[in-house]
Amino acid sequence: MSTSTLPVLIDRDESTLAFNERVLDMARRPNIPLLERLRYLCIVSSNLDEFFEVRVALHLHQIDSKSLAAPYSLYSYQKISQVAKKLVEKQYLVFNDELMPALSAQGIRLITFNERNKAQHKWVKQYFDQNVRPLLTPVSLDPSHPFPQVANKSLNFIVRLSGKDAFGRENDIAIVKVPRSLPRVIRLPLQANDKTIYMVTLSSVIRAHLKDLFPDRVVGQFSQFRVTRDSELLVDEEDAKNLRTALRHGLEHRQFGKPVRLEVSSDCSEHLSQFLLQQFKLPTDAIYRVDGPVNLVRLTQLIDLVNLPALLFPEFQASYPKQLQQDEPIFKQIRKSDVLIHQPFESFKGVLAFLKEAVNDPKVLAIKQTIYRTGTDSELMELLREAVVRGKEVTAVVEIKARFDEEANINWAERLESVGAQVVYGVVGLKTHAKMLLVTRREGNKLMRYGHLSTGNYNARTARLYTDISYLTANPEMTADMDAVFTQLASQTRISKLNHLWLAPFHLQEQLMEMVDKVSKASMHGEPGRIILKMNSLTDEKLARQLVLAGQRGVNIDLLVRGACILPAQREGFTERIKVRSIIGRFLEHSRVYYFRTGEKEDLYLSSADWMNRNMMRRIEIAWPVLDKSLRQRIIDECLVAYLCDNTDAWELQIDGSYQRKQPSQAQPLLSAQIELMKKYQQTN
How do residues 78-123 score in pLDDT, each as one tens digit?
999 999 999 999 999 999 999 999 999 999 999 999 999 999 999 9
596 close to 511: Cβ distance less than 8 angstroms? no
Asked whether 115 and 198 are in contact (CB, 8 A), the reply is no
Q: What is the DSSP letter of 639?
A: I
| Environment class of 522 (CB within 10 Å of its CB; exposed 0-12, middle 13-18, buried 19+) | buried
State percent of the chain over pLDDT 70.
93
Give the residue among 393, 392, 385, 370 at the shortest CA–CA distance from 486.
Answer: 370
Per 3-state DSSP, what percentage of the chain is helix, strand, and coil (rounded to 5)? 40, 25, 35
**Dist CA 332 CA 336 (whole Å):** 7
Confidence band, pLDDT 50/70/90 cuts, at residue 3? very low
Distance separating alpha carbons of residues 302 and 199, to the nearest angstrom: 8
Neighbours of 418 (CB within 10 A): 11
Q: How far apart are CA 47 and CA 120, in angstroms?
A: 34
Mean pLDDT computed over 652-681: 92
Cα–Cα distance between 590 and 216 in angstroms, integer?
Answer: 57
Burial (CB < 10 A; 0-12, 13-18, 19+), residue 68, is: middle
Q: Which residue has the higher pLDDT, 366 or 413?
A: 366
Please confirm, yes or no, whether 525 is among the known catalytic residues: no
125-160 tens-digit pLDDT: 999 999 999 999 998 887 677 899 999 999 999 999
- Write the pLDDT tens digit of every residue in 155-171: 999 999 987 776 667 77
- 573 or 187: whose pLDDT is higher? 187
- What is the rounded distance in angstroms from the CA atom of residue 544 to the CA atom of residue 552? 13
**What confidence tens digit (pLDDT) does each residue in 292-338 have?**
999 899 999 999 999 899 999 999 999 999 999 999 999 999 999 99
Q: Does residue 210 contact residue 159 with C-beta atoms inside 8 Å?
A: yes
Mean pLDDT of 62-87: 81
Choosing from 209, 433, 500, 590, the catalytic residue is 433
pLDDT at 248 over 80: no
Q: What's at 633, amino acid-wise?
A: Q
- Separation CA 554–CA 546 (nearest Å): 13
Distance CA 61, CA 66 (A): 9
State the pLDDT at residue 172.
85
What is the distance of C-alpha 645 from the center of its chain?
26
In the chain, the domains with their CATH numbers are 32-311 (3.30.1840.10), 330-499 (3.30.870.10), 504-684 (3.30.870.10)
Distance of alpha carbon 364 from alpha carbon 440, whole angstroms: 6
Backbone angles phi, psi at 455, to 5 degrees: -85, -10
Inform me whether the pLDDT recorded for 239 exceeds 60.
Answer: no
For a pLDDT cut of 90, what percent of the chain falls above it?
Answer: 74
In the beta sheet, which residues pair with residue 50? none
pLDDT band at 2 (very low <50, low <70, confident <90, very high): very low
Contact partners, residue 204, CB within 8 Å, separation at least 6: 112, 113
Range with lowest mean pLDDT among 63-72, 184-193, 344-353, 515-524: 63-72
* pLDDT (mean) for 232-240: 54
Instruction: For 526-554, write each residue's pLDDT tens digit.
Output: 998 999 999 999 999 999 999 999 999 99
Q: Beta strands 218-229 and 259-265: pairing type?
A: antiparallel
The span from the CA of 479 to the CA of 419, in Å, is: 27
**DSSP 8-state code for residue 346:** B
The model's pTM = 0.93
- Return phi, psi of residue 604, to 5°: -135, 130
Are 601 and 665 a contacting pair, CB within 8 Å? no
Nearest Cα neighbor of 550 from 528, 572, 527, 577 is 577
- For the segment 389-396, the average pLDDT, to the nearest whole number, is 94
pLDDT value at residue 431: 87
pLDDT beyond 80 at 655: yes
Strand order in the sheet with 108-110: 108-110, 197-201, 185-187
Other Cβ atoms within 10 Å of 660 Cβ, number: 11
Instruction: Calculate the average pLDDT of the chain.
Output: 91
CA-nearest of 24, 14, 31, 20 to 91 is 24
Supply the pLDDT for residue 4.
Answer: 44
pLDDT at 249 over 70: no
* pLDDT reported for residue 191: 82
pLDDT computed for residue 546 by the predictor:
96
Give 406-458 as a DSSP string.
Answer: HHHHHHHHHHHHHTT-EEE---TT-EE---EEEEEEEETTEEEEEEEEESS-S
Q: How far apart are CA 674 and CA 108, in angstroms?
A: 30
Q: How far is CA 60 from CA 51, 85, 463, in A?
A: 13, 17, 35
Q: Which of 383, 314, 313 is nearest to 348 (CA)?
A: 383
Q: Which residues lie across from 184 on neighbouring strands?
A: none
pLDDT confidence of 1, banded at 50, 70, 90? very low
